[in-house]
Structure 1
């Protein structure tokens, strides 16, 4: 009986020691650091010169500094790759978002990273490109970049970055006690100032017209329907041109604007379609 008790005590003691050892090991061992990368368009991800996947990319790694290179898919036009270095923090996810453009100036995005500070402190730093962008935090606090504060609570926050001539960025972040959150935002040009109205091509300027031919009575009747049975609503003179609105598939008659704001049908027997280069004066009869 005493021998059985001894064995039981040994097993219990072993279990306690093993449990304490497991807890202590996990407490001492540093937690893995998270990294999340998302891009537009999709891109190939390299970390420390090693290809590790494609975006959206989410992984846990050892804490420490890493070098990241993103090579975008570019089938129609060449896009500029992106390179940066970040420090991964134990137990915290670092976020990189990137929108690729044909040049570095036309590209943009944001990086959300962290660094350790006092145990019970929380910090927030915002840097923007271009400088002096407008900042709105949680729809209440306004500031101008660059911005640095310790007056922020732990938890989720919404930060809106805006600057004239650039696209607005609406960013979700999460602040942690004991860490300073650094948000680096590269704004993307809106492109509005670069928009130029295209010059019409010769094809766009050409208008199909209807020219009135000679008739036995010296004019051509305009009717409300594409038929000789249609009601006469007006008359047009030979030699004049009118804008072609439609062609009746059954009779071949042409629909024209014979007066300003008035439309009617004319026989194709005494008219023909012509192309106008835009210089021909076409004025419906007032």
Structure 2
């Protein structure tokens, strides 16, 4: 069986972003943190600063950041301006591939808002028009502003057909808006082909019963992995024809009532039981 397994770094898993300094809540300084794979050269306001990983305190201001290969400082991998907010962290995290379309990462910044009871979340992506899921609930498409977000830990997931999805753990703080800029990596031709060539044992006489889930529903994806787009939702107790199995994923047949045709999708085997 020829199967492509997404590396952990290809899906941004559980990047918990602590917004405020625990040791200096009222600090006048802010922190800039830059992480990358592979390590790259950092320029801040035109000055060479060192290699990633990088973490340093700055007074509140806007900084111009440029990231380049250490061996070729003239080649710009990423460049932009980021704000430094007092008592908060500004995070730049990137994975650079061999081709620009394979690059992915996130830029997380903060600004203060009048609402002292809640936080806010502004999500943008490249490319845009990606699906935004917060704590398992679809909220809309990028760019998207979510106001009155409860303080605490949240899970942000960004999905777009043809691109690896991004899953980030966020810590929302009252009185702050978190701005999340997400760069998605395009699924390459070879990767796409390998992901869709699993060995499948088709057993059409069997059915799959959807088991209980923490959310009360279960995502159906276009392929056997979390990097594939969500195409439908199914619910506990429902039964669907079983088509195939592929290491932790079950392929089922869905009837599209609007178009009266059968569609196929994949669910996690953790929440599906095969029955004869």
Which of 52, 77, 82 aligns to 1:81? It is 77
1:122 aligns with 2:107: no
Tell me the residue number matched to 1:58: 55
Structure with bigger gyration radius: 1
Which of 164, 169, 173 aligns to 1:167? It is 164
1:155-197, CA deviations, whole angstroms, 9 ceiling, x for partnerless residues? 2222111111111111122212111111111101011367689
Tell me the residue number matched to 1:181: 178
TM-score for both structures, normalised by structure 1: 0.53
Tell me the residue number matched to 1:272: none
* Runs of 5+ unmatched residues, structure 2: 1-23, 195-276
Secondary structure at the aligned position of 2:101 is classed as coil
TM-score for both structures, normalised by structure 2: 0.55
RMSD: 2.8
- Cα distance in 1 for partners of 2:173, 2:193 equals 46
Q: Is the 8 A contact 1:67 1:83 kept in 2?
A: yes
- Cα distance in 1 for partners of 2:83, 2:176 equals 13
- Cα distance in 1 for partners of 2:57, 2:71 equals 28
- Cα distance in 1 for partners of 2:119, 2:177 equals 6
1:153 aligns with 2:150: yes
Q: How far off is 1:73 after superposition? A: 4.7
Secondary structure at the aligned position of 1:105 is classed as helix
Tell me the residue number matched to 2:104: 108
Q: Is the 8 A contact 2:67 2:76 kept in 1?
A: no
- Cα distance in 1 for partners of 2:101, 2:75 equals 11
- Cα distance in 2 for partners of 1:84, 1:46 equals 11
1:138 aligns with 2:135: yes
1:68 aligns with 2:65: yes
List aligned pairs for 1:1-286, cutoff 5 A. Answer: 31-73=28-70, 80-120=76-116, 121-192=118-189
Q: How far off is 1:130 after superposition? A: 1.2
Q: How far off is 1:134 after superposition? A: 1.5
Higher helix share: 1
Q: Is the 8 A contact 1:79 1:103 kept in 2?
A: no
